[in-house]
Amino acid sequence: MANLNNSGEREQWGSKIGFILAAAGSAVGLGNLWKFPYMAGKNGGGAFVLVYFIILFLVGFTLMLAEIVLGRYTQLNAIGAYRKIGKKWAFVGALGVLAGFLILSFYSVVGGWVIAYLVKTLTGALNVTDAEVLGNMFGKLISGTTEPIFYHALFMIATFLIVLGGIGGGIEKSSKILMPGLFVMIIVLAIRSMTLPGAVEGIKYLLVPDFSKINIDVVLDALGQVFFSLSLGMGCMITYGSYLSKDSNIPESAVTIPLIDTGVALLAGLAVLPAVFAFGFEPSAGPGLIFITFPAVFAQMPFGTLFEIMFFILVLFAALSSSISLLEVCVAYVVDEWKMNRKVATVSLAFVIFLLGIPASLSFGPWAHITLLPGKGFFDTFDFIASNILLPLGGLLLCIVVGWIWGTDNAIKEATNEGQLEFKFASFWAFLVKYVGPVAIGIVFIRSLLG
Ligand code: PHE
């Protein structure tokens, strides 16, 4: 049976910490380690980080709670959950599944680069200190045809094998071991990076905002990044919340998960940008930033190769604990709504998403000249549509559904386990969901449409 355990009940997380780790595992991934540093580098450093924090506080925590609560209340997948609140809202869930589909296609391409780098480290091919050589090496990898697609396929295969294992089996167990390991590793890296000669400039770049750099593009990128990094706006936390038991503490989880996620993103920024300045790279180098910078940092460390192997293994697992949640949203939908066999659903979805990722991969090489949106090839277009449009739009509609249709009183009742739990900020949260969320997201959208 679909998403049910042997006794016919909906599967549930094995423990409270199991859910937090799995949800944090979904949130923490390439969004933090790969995308946050390059987005910050591209958008003026501190200016981006400041806007990111403002959006995190206004909508990040708020929507995290809204999604988890909606999931646990309905015990359904993203579309089913919205439908249960009102038939005509099912399309919001469908938008989310579509976003997950798109994101996974290019996410898996980057996941493939991580595997490729792991292989290169193991074979000693990365044992270079020259920054320019490292830059060329990355360029050569992503502009290729068969090599990046091969690794993209490997990443996709790993993703669906874990999802086939089911919720408790695959997702929960791996998160328990690997998340703490990643945390320690990234702290070591940040320390090394910040103590390199010339690193201070990078620390300043990341932490001291230059207000003149803030414009609507920076705000839209930061908005998209908050949603992307927290796995919000596409029903991922609805799906994970649907496997939560009725006695879990949702308000606490909704604070803990964003805090862990933001901590990792900031540490990743502190591991990358100081080194970027120390080695004389360009902060605006784009998607390749971490792949060029990290090997250069490792080359400056005792036992660098050993650390590098461990590091890429951990990044790979962080990426997988996110990619499985992206696939899980799509699978849960097909299984719950179309009553499709879970195995068949998983394998066929993974295959179609793999195909969609191929043009994303080729857009760094043979198809670089093809643009879908102004100045954006397949990869950037998929990312832009999913992260900067579909996810915030999903978030806006989530605010409307939870704040106005289902109603914040009902939501708070669910969040406090019918009044058994304390939720100090309940009325402030209600205000944020009903007014601040929709207005803030709406303004950013309208402003960026006006250009
Ligand atoms: N949050 C994940 C990351 O930062 C990516 C993701 C987005 C996962 C949306 C699920 C849903 O890597």
The DSSP annotation for 414-445 comes to HHTTTTTS--TTHHHHHHIIIIIHHHHHHHHH
The verdict on the CB of residue 386 being under 6 Å from ligand 1 is no
148 token code pair: 């990046």
CA 222, CA 228: separation in Å to the nearest integer? Answer: 10
- Which of 190, 60, 106, 114 has its CA nearest to residue 381? 106
Q: Which residue has the tokens 């100090």?
A: 424
Atom of ligand 1 nearest to the CA of 391: 9
CA 156, CA 153: separation in Å to the nearest integer? Answer: 5
* pLDDT value for 1: 33
Question: Model's pTM, two decimal places?
Answer: 0.93
Could you tell which of 228, 238, 333, 398 is best to mutate to test the pocket of ligand 1, judged by most ligand atoms within 8 Å of the CB? 228
The verdict on the CB of residue 229 being under 6 Å from ligand 1 is yes
CA 191, CA 151: separation in Å to the nearest integer? Answer: 31
Could you tell which of 324, 325, 382, 383 is best to mutate to test the pocket of ligand 1, judged by most ligand atoms within 8 Å of the CB? 325
The verdict on the CB of residue 320 being under 6 Å from ligand 1 is no
CA 188, CA 290: separation in Å to the nearest integer? Answer: 16
Query: Which protein residue's CA is at the shortest distance from atom 10 of ligand 1?
Result: 231
The verdict on the CB of residue 103 being under 6 Å from ligand 1 is yes
Q: Are 78 and 238 in contact (CB under 8 A)?
A: yes
The verdict on the CB of residue 96 being under 6 Å from ligand 1 is no
The verdict on the CB of residue 323 being under 6 Å from ligand 1 is no
CA 376, CA 217: separation in Å to the nearest integer? Answer: 14
Q: How far is the CA of 129 from the centre of ligand 1 (A)?
A: 32
Atom of ligand 1 nearest to the CA of 230: 1
Q: Are 90 and 422 in contact (CB under 8 A)?
A: no
> Could you give the count of Cα atoms lying within 13 Å of 89 in the half-sphere of its Cβ?
20
The verdict on the CB of residue 31 being under 6 Å from ligand 1 is yes
The verdict on the CB of residue 325 being under 6 Å from ligand 1 is yes
One pLDDT digit (tens) per residue for the chain, 451 residues = 345 554 556 777 777 777 888 888 899 999 999 999 999 999 999 999 999 999 999 999 999 999 999 999 999 989 999 999 999 999 999 999 999 999 999 999 999 999 999 999 999 888 777 777 888 888 899 999 999 999 999 999 999 998 887 656 656 666 777 788 888 889 998 999 999 999 999 999 999 999 999 999 999 999 999 999 999 999 999 988 988 888 889 999 999 999 999 999 999 999 999 999 998 888 988 888 889 888 888 888 788 888 889 889 889 989 998 999 999 999 988 988 899 999 999 999 999 999 999 999 999 999 999 999 988 999 999 999 999 999 999 999 999 999 999 999 999 999 999 988 888 899 999 999 999 999 999 999 988 887 6
The verdict on the CB of residue 236 being under 6 Å from ligand 1 is yes
The verdict on the CB of residue 331 being under 6 Å from ligand 1 is no
Q: How far is the CA of 234 from the centre of ligand 1 (A)?
A: 10
Query: Which protein residue's CA is at the shortest distance from atom 4 of ligand 1?
Result: 31
CA 4, CA 12: separation in Å to the nearest integer? Answer: 9
Q: Are 115 and 156 in contact (CB under 8 A)?
A: no
* pLDDT value for 301: 79
CA 171, CA 22: separation in Å to the nearest integer? Answer: 6
Of the chain, the end-to-end C-alpha distance in Å amounts to: 49
Can you give the length of the chain in residues?
451
The verdict on the CB of residue 30 being under 6 Å from ligand 1 is yes
φ and ψ at residue 419, rounded to 5 degrees: 85, 0
- Give 268-302 as a DSSP string: HHHHHHHHHHHHT--TT--TTHHHHHHHHHHTTST
- Give the distance, in angstroms, between the CA of residue 160 and the centroid of all CA atoms in the same chain: 17
Atom of ligand 1 nearest to the CA of 325: 10
